[in-house]
Structure 1
Amino acid sequence: MSLVSVPLPSFILHSRPYKETSALVDFFTPEGRLRAVLRGARGKSGALARPFVPLEAEFRGRSELKNVSRLEAAGIPNLLASEALFSGLYLNELLIRLLPAEVPHPDLFEHYRATLPLLAAGRPLEPLLRAFEWRLLDELGYGFALDRDIVGQSVAPQGLYRLLPDAGLEPVGELQPGLFHGADLLAMAEADWSAPGALAAAKRLMRQALAPHLGGRPLVSRELFMNRKEPPRD
């Protein structure tokens, strides 16, 4: 993307101080992930420079680092707290880590925009997170079938499978660590989270599927959440 001048619906994924009064901000828009300098970040614009607030922004610049020429609120802020807050930070970190800069993903943007109010409303977190992870993988071209194996055969409810991240699900004849039951995979394919074990299996599956694309670096949001749950030391 070169010069951008039209208003774009936007969310801030992350911001940090830049020079004396500015901020370096990662935005998520239908046109993709954009990095831009927000000048006067300690003033009115800075008050909007928070995650999960629906915004309308205009950007200018021909390099990958844009300048924010206008920033306005465009809806009710999504007030996330406790586990929902950590979940929102997790989604933001996935987008920063995995989305290439300036590649449009309008459908993923709409999915993200629809997910935030559900997090704020206290909806069960695990189904929302698994659905977003799956949508992100699919948008990036890393998705795979949940109801068919790597040779196109239907997943058998009684079968055992392992994930080959670059290919899909491979049937396995004997029990090994890290495998998935066919019944759980079929429940995931239908988003049937009432099936016993489906949510836990989906969490393991998504971790395995995302790991190769995260470059071996741990997710900060996940570490923050785990540290938060640890009891205080004497």
Structure 2
Amino acid sequence: MADLAFVLHSRAYRETSALVDLFTPQGRTRAVLRGARGKAGSLARPFVPLEFELRGRSDLKSIARLEPAGLAYWLEGASLFGGLYLNELLIRLLPAEDAHPDLFDHYAATLPGLAEKRPLEPLLRAFEWRLLCELGYGFPLDVDVHGRPIMPAQRYRLSPEAGFEAVETMQPGLFSGADIQSMAAADWDAPGALMAAKRLMRQALAPHLGDRPLVSRELFMGSVPPR
């Protein structure tokens, strides 16, 4: 029986093969695609829904079958960089062979939005948050670390391991309670909510990504023309 998958990344392996990172409902897995310069190799690219079968008994299995399971999502411009960013997050953060079927469904539902060029930031923030929660790194958006309700006029700092802590003195990287409430409600029309959500996700993801920069983020910044 074939499984569903999306290719996150592939690279040349030996003379005619490729090492392919696949995202499936059963988790992230890496396998060898032999004859990668043929028809199968043309399918081993991101944003194409696929059916695949693996064979072999070693840790590094081979792809026995790879076929399209739907139309490819054509991403370009900022949407392309957004898709590459999601793929890089999954490669960097999702443990191998760790099943997350709901996260897979969320990813599959995000790609049409990217292809249709819906507003990019809400799509990325929603996926980042789902990824954090799926991996057990989420935190409450309605109460602080002491269980007190988030107050709109209060300032908070984020402890990625615990959540929001109220502070009385100004310092870099704080969030207003009003912005946190807007993020909790996904109210992206509220002034400043999307900008605050971007800062929040960067702070929340940083401890798990480590010091190595994200290639997709650097590519996107390099593609933005100077003003």
Give the one of 45, 49, 74 matched to 1:79.
74
Structure 1 residue 151: deviation in Å? 1.0
State how 1:15-26 maps to structure 2 within 5 Å: 15-26=10-21
The answer on 1:203 being equivalent to 2:198 is: yes
2:145 is matched with which residue?
A: 150
Alignment TM-score, normalising by the size of structure 2: 0.98
Give the one of 94, 97, 117 matched to 2:112.
117
2:48 is matched with which residue?
A: 53
Structure 1 residue 230: deviation in Å? 4.0
Alignment TM-score, normalising by the size of structure 1: 0.95
Distance in structure 2 (CA, Å) of the matches to 1:88 and 1:18? 24
Give the one of 3, 8, 14 matched to 2:9.
14
1:216 is matched with which residue?
A: 211
Give the one of 181, 186, 191 matched to 2:186.
191
Give the one of 102, 106, 111 matched to 2:101.
106
> Does the 8 Å CA contact 1:57/1:70 hold for their aligned counterparts?
yes
Distance in structure 1 (CA, Å) of the matches to 2:16 and 2:183? 47
Letter aligned with residue 50 of structure 2: L
Give the one of 30, 34, 37 matched to 2:32.
37
1:3 is matched with which residue?
A: none
Distance in structure 2 (CA, Å) of the matches to 1:219 and 1:40? 30
Distance in structure 1 (CA, Å) of the matches to 2:192 and 2:56? 49
Letter aligned with residue 76 of structure 2: A
> Does the 8 Å CA contact 1:34/1:64 hold for their aligned counterparts?
no
1:166 is matched with which residue?
A: 161
Distance in structure 2 (CA, Å) of the matches to 1:210 and 1:107? 20
CA RMSD of aligned residues (A): 1.1
The percent of aligned pairs where both chains have the same amino acid is 70
Distance in structure 1 (CA, Å) of the matches to 2:129 and 2:187? 14
Distance in structure 2 (CA, Å) of the matches to 1:158 and 1:103? 40
Letter aligned with residue 55 of structure 1: L
The answer on 1:65 being equivalent to 2:60 is: yes
3-state DSSP of counterpart to 2:28? strand
Structure 1 residue 62: deviation in Å? 3.5
> Does the 8 Å CA contact 1:160/1:179 hold for their aligned counterparts?
yes
Distance in structure 1 (CA, Å) of the matches to 2:168 and 2:25? 44
- Structure 1, unpaired ranges of 5+: 1-5
Aligned residue pairs total 227
